[in-house]
Structure 1
Amino acid sequence: MISVRTMRNRLGVHPLWRRKWKRSPPYVLSQRILWIVLLVIGGVGIPMGYQQVQSAFAAWTRLEQITVFGLERVSRRDLLTVMKIPSETTLWTLDPPSIARRVLAHPWIASASVARVWPHTLTITVVERRPAAILRHGTREWVIARDGVVLADHRKPSFGDLPILVGPPPSIMPDSQPTDVPERLQRALRLASLLFEAYGARPVVDLDEPAQFRAAVRALEFRFTDNFEPEWARYRRLLSLGHVTQETDPCEIDLRFPGKVIIREKG
């Protein structure tokens, strides 16, 4: 006796749950049209949505205020000119390290830090260099910072109490751009500082003679070698011991020779 299952297999009849129904052509066409419509909507809608989000974010982070701390001699206008920030920009597109490097290009700025304060403010904190002396050559004068950087031409009377350095060779003089001064000028700054601390008056240090320094303060004129620190220390020690009297009349004090203090009176 043949079972029902065997008969179905021979006749090619399968249960409904195993039949492979073929989709009709209209159904396939409708499905394809639906996918095309969805792709078109997505291709147009996503860029439009991104542009709207980008526009809203740009409006939220638009640069509206620049706050600067630490300015004393440098004007805000000069600093903004050096920074070169576009008028229409956002905090998101700004690069604080790059702005800090541009600020440091100003000769008066010793250090600078730049930070973004969301949503609309950029803060710049600077430390200015301190003028330490006037560098004079012929009729030209420059302001020298404490770290030996030539700051600018000397045109302001506010620097009238600074020490004066005279006579560097023209080959090491700055022309139009601020530059680092050589070690010899930094040594002269150190000598001027020692004389000012001792006498409380404006010294003048002459660098005309190679390997030597000539310095004047009050009515006194000193002669040093390049290695002036031990020579100055010896002179101050002899003064404290009373072996040398403190001169008040115009004279030249020569300390260039080891173990000697030569005082020449001026008529």
Structure 2
Amino acid sequence: MLLGLMIRDQRAGRTAGRRNAPNRGAVRVTPPAPRSWPRLSMPSVNDAARRMQQLLWPLLLVVLGMGLYELANRLQPLAQRPISLINVEGDLQYIDRESVHQSIEPYLEESLLTIDLEALRADLIAMPWVASAAVTRVWPDQLVITLDEHLPVARWGDSALLNNAGRAFVPEHIDSFEGLPLLNGPERTKRRVMQTYQQFNRLLRPYGHRVAQLELRDRGSWFLTTREGIEILLGQGDVVEKMQRFLTIDKLMLSDRRELIARVDLRYSNGMAVAWREPATIQSGSNE
């Protein structure tokens, strides 16, 4: 029993050694490589589309050129057609329609395509009451002109009017606007003076005052005159705060004697002085 077991172990060892030993003198057989077949080159879809585009583009250009030529031949009579109707639109109160017609008349012989719209617009804006103008072609032979007028808000000196944006314009018959407030100041300050006038007017109106004159002097001092003839000296700085101070005192102490007030000096830091038109029982000058 023991001997048989030992023999079996030796055979197993020889067998294992034989299995692990390298095969000396053995020939390795390499399997044949797979046969490579020649590829058939077929044109791709992108190449075909590209070639088609190269062929079609010249043809499309020729067709487009012929179409444009035919369209130009058909439109040429219409392009030379004179303007038959000019429509002027806008809420016009001061603009003279006869003056508008005189500005348009030199352009009536032009066709719709050849008329110089910018030149016509410039001629219209040069009219005294025209604030803005727009000129539009309407096919086949019409023009639409839209005009906006200046809105006169105040006089600027003796020779011009101001619109609500502080833009000056010089219309005819300016004397008929003497009822408007009179504003004055350096030429470069028109817009600033107009804005200050509008601000003061909003402050004064609830208290029964209205601005008759407003002046900004060269050194930056403001002078205001109400419709009642009260001169208000505001000085240079904090003019809105100073005006509110006057209105507070006016409501408490002066409202029933406004016709006696000649001048109010607000150029003080925390008070004001009042000058009366005629002697009164109240002493001149009052403080908060």
**TM-score when scaled to structure 1?**
0.61
Once residues 213 and 188 of structure 1 are traced to their aligned partners in structure 2, the CA distance between those partners, rounded to angstroms, is: 10
Q: Which residue of 2 aligns with 1:260?
A: 271
Q: Which structure 2 residues correspond to residues 97-116 of structure 1 after superposition, within 5 A?
A: 99-116=120-137
Shift of 1:223: 0.8
8 A contact 1:161–1:202 mirrored in 2: no
Give the structure-2-normalised TM-score.
Answer: 0.57
- Give the match for residue 67 of structure 1: 87
- How far residue 142 of structure 1 moved from its aligned partner, in angstroms, is 2.0
Equivalent in 242, 246, 251 of residue 231 of structure 1: 242
Aligned to 1:193: 201
The letter for the 2-side match of 1:214 is F
For the 8 Å contact 2:197–2:211, the answer to whether it is kept is no
User: In the alignment, which of 142, 148, 152 is matched to residue 166 of structure 2?
Assistant: 148
CA shift for structure 1 position 75: 1.5
CA distance in 1, matches of 2:203, 2:104: 39
1:172-211 paired onto structure 2 within 5 Å:
172=187, 182-187=190-195, 189-190=197-198, 193-194=201-202, 197=205, 198-199=207-208, 201=210, 203-208=212-217, 210-211=219-220
Please tell me the residue identity of whatever aligns with 1:90.
Answer: S
Give per-residue Cα distances to partners, 1:131-183, cap 9 Å, x unaligned: 111223xxx432222222221167344313200125x46xx3xxxxxxx7545
Q: Using the alignment, how far apart are the partners of 2:200 and 2:232 within structure 1?
A: 11
Change in 2 beyond 3 A, CA 1:110/1:56? closer
Query: Map of 1:1-267 to 2, 5 A cutoff?
Result: 54-59=76-81, 62-70=82-90, 71-82=92-103, 85-96=106-117, 99-136=120-157, 140-152=158-170, 155-166=173-184, 168=185, 172=187, 182-187=190-195, 189-190=197-198, 193-194=201-202, 197=205, 198-199=207-208, 201=210, 203-208=212-217, 210-217=219-226, 218-227=228-237, 228-240=239-251, 242=252, 244-246=253-255, 247-248=257-258, 249-267=260-278
Deviation, structure 1 residue 58:
2.3
Q: Is 1:132–1:146's contact at 8 Å kept on the other side of the alignment? A: yes
Higher helix residue share: 2
Q: Which has the higher contact order (CA 8 A, sep 6+)?
A: 1
Q: Does the 8 A contact of 1:255 with 1:262 survive in 2?
A: yes
Q: In the comparison of the two structures, how many residue pairs are matched? A: 203
Matched residue SS, 1:158: helix
* Change over 3 Å in CA distance of 1:153–1:111 after alignment to 2: closer
Does the 8 Å CA contact 2:129/2:171 hold for their aligned counterparts? no
SS of equivalent to 1:203:
strand
CA deviations over 1:172-212 (Å, ceiling 9, x no partner): 3xxxxxxx754554355436634773546561224446321
Structure-2 separation of matches of 1:53 and 1:184: 53
Question: Taking structure 1 as reference, are residues 120 and 251 closer, same or farther at Cα in structure 2, changes over 3 Å only?
Answer: same
Describe the shift of the 1:156–1:55 C-alpha distance in structure 2 as closer, same or farther (beyond 3 A). Answer: same
Greater Rg over alpha carbons, structure: 2
Asked whether the 8 Å contact 1:192–1:203 carries over to 2, the reply is: no
Amino acid at match of 1:126: L
- The alignment partner of 1:232 has SS state of helix
Distance 1:165 1:102, change over 3 A: same
- Distance in structure 2 (CA, Å) of the matches to 1:142 and 1:225: 26
RMSD: 3.4
Deviation per CA, 1:65-93, whole angstroms, max 9, x where unpaired? 22212222122233345557523112222
Q: Distance in 2 between matches of 1:53 and 1:251?
A: 75
Unpaired stretches in structure 2, ≥5 consecutive residues = 1-68, 279-288
- Amino acid in the other structure paired with 1:145: N
Distance 1:226 1:96 in 2: 47
